[in-house]
Amino acid sequence: MSETQVKQQSTAAFYGQAVLSFAVAIVATAIGIFRLETDAWVRAFLGIAVLYLVTSAFTLAKVIRDRQEAGQIVSRVDQARLEKLLAEHDPFDKL
């Protein structure tokens, strides 16, 4: 009745692709802001906005991951309690 859950783990290629994609996006955005033909304060503002966006994205991803992991733990505890109740229950006890 108990199921062993397989822990999903990303491959090295997927991890590398994600890191490379993030690096390319940041570098491309930085180059775009740097080469923008406008005042320095506008470029600085855009740079700060990009940094804020990146940190917010990381925070959001962490919060979503933490919530998902907490839900999995609660689900495992509930499943263990149910299995214990079913194991202790004797349907022919009161006949």
Write the pLDDT tens digit of every residue in 63-87. Answer: 988 888 877 776 777 777 888 877 8
Q: How far apart are CA 68 and CA 50, in angstroms?
A: 27
Amino acid at the residue 60: L
Q: How far apart are CA 15 and CA 78, in angstroms?
A: 33
Q: How far apart are CA 40 and CA 34, in angstroms?
A: 9
pLDDT in tens, 42-70: 999 999 999 999 999 999 999 988 888 87
HSE (CB half, 13 Å, CA atoms) of 31? 6
What stretches of 35-92 show up as alpha helix (H) in DSSP?
40-88
